[in-house]
Amino acid sequence: MNRRPLTSLRRLKLFEAHGGVCHICEIRIHGERGEKWDVEHVIPIAMGGKDDESNMRPAHVDCHAGKSKVDARNLAKVNRQRAKHFGAWKPSGFRKMPEGYKWDWRLQRAVKEAR
């Protein structure tokens, strides 16, 4: 998927279309004072969101970073669940005993075999 670069004019139009308000914390972004802001995807592209203006909103840099962190965590969970559903995930189970060891039921641990 090729993402189109966001020009300065498109960023400005997006900022004005949403009234210069961060869509995450809903506080005004003071761009005229040099406050940093990003264009943020409401639904992340990795989760099926579109790369067009209908899915983009202005957001403070810190708000965007926090949401991106949560989105990454949620995406990792979705990927784990998908792998498990399709059988690609192998559950951890009893590991093979190392060569020369046996299980001692009394001690409940592996012990080296006496030779």
At 77, which CATH number? 3.40.1800
pTM above 0.85, yes or no: no
Does residue 17 register a pLDDT over 80? yes
Strands (E), the chain: 37-41, 56-60, 101-104, 109-112
Q: How far apart are CA 51 and CA 33, in angstroms?
A: 28
Question: Residue 74 falls within a domain, yes or no?
Answer: yes
Residue 112 lies in a domain: no
Residue 75 — pLDDT band, cuts 50, 70, 90? very high
Does 76 fall in a domain?
A: yes
Rounded average pLDDT over 66-76: 94
- Judge whether 1 lies within some domain: no
* Residue 47, in any domain of the structure: yes
Q: Is residue 107 part of a domain?
A: no
Q: Does residue 115 sit within a domain?
A: no
Q: In the structure, what pLDDT confidence band is assigned to residue 77 with cuts at 50, 70 and 90?
A: very high
In the block, tokens 């406050």 appear at 35
Give which of 94, 30, 84 is closest to 61, Cα–Cα: 30
As for how many domains the chain has, the answer is 1
The domain in which residue 70 lies consists of 8-90
Distance between CA 28 and CA 59 in Å, rounded? 9
Considering the chain, what percentage of its residues have pLDDT values greater than 90? 53
Tell me what the mean pLDDT of segment 8-22 comes to. Answer: 94
